[in-house]
């Protein structure tokens, strides 16, 4: 996490900075609010601002937002009373850290405000297969498209890929393409020069340059206007970007990860997404199954969220009762992991007694999650049957030979690469000749081998 400290580094603030660094934060420092805004404008980004409460916090936040820079702020200070802390919160700070600092408090605030503590947790075979493929491709430079329903954890997977990559010590920058209006997204991505449009009072570095050397996540890329897609395609192909109003291209060195909750092939057919851009992004596809398709993950995720929100709210960790666990597994979870997380957060707050029972697990409308509403105590529900199927699939691997498992891995990887032999060989860590020999061997056995998809050149990119 990138932490920008704003204020004079007196003894107690310096101690807080050292504690933050001990918890993995990469710290930079300025003394004034205007310097903080200027540093963020120049692309020296931050995930969190730690600001001395005596600085004009409201003015700093307003100046940042005028530049469309949205970074959470925590206030801190020595000898601050309750009124000072309340004033800082009213000015827009998310939290107040009294100084001298406590190491546990620093760690909790960094985790809660920056929301970096989102590990990739799984026990279900279908999700573990996706994670295995992610581990294979993480250290490559290939662009990756992560698909799946809203709430399945696409951004968590993107961070997992970045942390496992050769760029892990460089920035991970995320842009939500659905949350930024079309007329502002170009400037957000590529930056702009002073005077390039009304309100452009100074040069602004965009997310491409901010992510230089690291990873850029284009979240929900299907929402991007088709006209901007052409400029994005050039940036990915040529590894250069043009700032709005700029006169010369700017080189960038980034890895692209994109996510979508839509069927992009269908979007291509409808003319709302460029086919050549899809092929550039979809070198490797990671499809995250919906939570109802991986019931083996429900219990372990629920336990994780119980521990997380018990600690965050200062309440004891209660175990989930057997009836509640069956109800969780039988529920459909249309909102996926995000819905489950919210439900368990509520349950931690509403639970009474020694366990979290069904009555404490509430739906968004306040209704309790009934153990019997989705089949006989969950045993005959679609989710339960899916769990049985997943278990059967896992057991089916037992007794297979190494050659059989190798065949499965090679064919699955080729399928994920849309039939592209070169990319599949790179991911598998074998030569293209070895891959071709294996595929010829499987074809001789009568196995149907996927051919490269129409329109994909030998390199895996769209043909000109």
Quick: pLDDT tens for 418-455: 788 888 887 887 888 888 889 988 888 888 888 876 54
Domain span(s) for CATH 3.40.50.300 in the chain: 125-289
For 57-74, what is the mean pLDDT? 87
- Burial pattern 70-80, b for ≥16 Cβ within 10 A else e, equals ebbbbbbbeeb
What gap in Å lies between CA 229 and CA 281, rounded to an integer? 11
Tokens 């043909």 belong to residue: 463
Q: Which of 276, 284, 285, 283 is nearest to 232 (CA)?
A: 276
Domain span(s) for CATH 1.10.8.60 in the chain: 292-388
Name the DSSP letter for residue 354. Answer: S
Contact 30, 53 (CB under 8 A): no
pLDDT of res. 462 = 35
> What residues contact residue 213 under an 8 Å CB cut-off, 6+ apart?
167, 170, 171, 253, 254
pLDDT of res. 398 = 52
pLDDT of res. 299 = 94
SS3 56: coil
Q: Which pair of structure tokens corresponds to residue 325?
A: 């666990």
**Per-residue pLDDT tens over the stretch 363-397:** 888 888 864 444 333 444 454 555 555 544 444 45
Domain span(s) for CATH 1.10.10.60 in the chain: 399-444
Residue 9 — left, alpha, or beta (φ > 0 → left; ψ -120 to 50 → alpha)? beta
**CATH architecture for the domain at 399-444:** Orthogonal Bundle (1.10)
Q: Which residue would you say has higher pLDDT here, 266 or 399? A: 266
Give bridge partners of residue 256 from the DSSP assignment: 216
The region of weakest confidence among 195-204, 215-224, 373-382 is 373-382
What gap in Å lies between CA 163 and CA 215, rounded to an integer? 10
**Which top CATH class is 292-388?**
mainly alpha
Residue 62, CA atoms < 13 Å, CB-side half-sphere: 5
> What residues contact residue 78 under an 8 Å CB cut-off, 6+ apart?
10, 12, 13, 99, 100
Q: Which pair of structure tokens corresponds to residue 286?
A: 């990671």
Q: In CATH, what number does 2-114 get?
A: 3.40.50.2300
Give bridge partners of residue 240 from the DSSP assignment: 251
Burial class, 82, CB count within 10 angstroms (exposed 0-12 / middle 13-18 / buried 19+): exposed
Q: Which pair of structure tokens corresponds to residue 197?
A: 């449009």
Contact 14, 52 (CB under 8 A): no
Q: In CATH, what number does 125-289 get?
A: 3.40.50.300
For 246-269, what is the mean pLDDT? 92
Domain span(s) for CATH 3.40.50.2300 in the chain: 2-114
């Amino acid at each position: 996490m990138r932490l920008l400290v704003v204020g004079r580094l007196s003894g107690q603030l310096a101690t807080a900075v050292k504690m933050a660094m001990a918890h993995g934060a990469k710290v930079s420092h300025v003394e004034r609010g205007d310097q903080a805004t200027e540093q963020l404008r120049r692309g020296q980004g931050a995930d969190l601002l730690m600001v001395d409460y005596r600085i004009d916090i409201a003015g700093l936040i307003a100046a940042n937002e005028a530049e469309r820079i949205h970074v959470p702020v925590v206030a801190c200070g020595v000898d601050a009373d309750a009124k000072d802390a309340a004033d800082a919160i009213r000015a827009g700070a998310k939290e107040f850290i009294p100084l001298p600092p406590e190491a546990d408090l620093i760690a909790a605030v960094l985790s809660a405000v920056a929301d970096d503590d989102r590990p990739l947790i799984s026990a279900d075979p279908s999700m573990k297969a996706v994670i295995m493929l992610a581990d294979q491709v993480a250290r490559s430079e290939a662009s990756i498209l992560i698909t799946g329903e809203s709430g399945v954890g696409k951004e968590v997977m993107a961070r997992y890929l970045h942390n496992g990559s050769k760029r892990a010590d460089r920035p991970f920058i995320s842009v939500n393409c659905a949350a930024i209006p079309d007329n502002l997204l170009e400037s957000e991505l590529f930056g702009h020069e002073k005077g390039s449009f009304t309100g452009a009072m100074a040069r602004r570095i965009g997310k491409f340059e901010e992510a230089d050397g690291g990873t850029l996540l284009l979240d929900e890329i299907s929402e991007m206007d088709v006209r901007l897609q052409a400029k994005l395609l050039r940036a990915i192909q040529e590894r250069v970007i043009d700032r709005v109003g700029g006169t010369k291209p700017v080189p960038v060195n980034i890895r692209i990860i994109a996510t979508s909750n839509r069927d992009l092939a269908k979007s291509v057919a409808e003319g709302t997404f460029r086919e050549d851009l899809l092929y550039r992004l979809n070198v490797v596809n990671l499809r995250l199954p919906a939570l109802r398709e991986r019931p083996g993950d429900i219990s372990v995720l629920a336990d994780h969220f119980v521990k997380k929100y018990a600690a965050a709210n200062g309440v004891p960790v209660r175990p989930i009762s057997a009836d509640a666990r069956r109800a969780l597994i039988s529920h459909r979870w249309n909102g996926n992991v995000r819905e489950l997380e919210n439900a368990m957060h509520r349950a931690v707050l509403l639970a009474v007694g020694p366990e979290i029972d069904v009555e404490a697990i509430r739906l968004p409308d306040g209704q309790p999650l009934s153990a019997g509403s989705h089949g006989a105590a969950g045993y005959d529900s679609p989710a339960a049957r899916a769990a049985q199927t997943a278990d059967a699939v896992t057991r089916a691997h037992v007794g297979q030979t190494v050659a059989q498992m190798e065949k499965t891995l090679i064919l699955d990887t080729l399928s994920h690469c849309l039939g592209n032999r070169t990319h599949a060989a790179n991911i598998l860590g074998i030569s293209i000749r070895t891959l071709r020999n294996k595929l010829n061997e499987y074809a001789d056995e009568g196995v149907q081998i996927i051919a490269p998809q129409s329109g994909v050149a030998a390199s895996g990119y769209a043909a000109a």
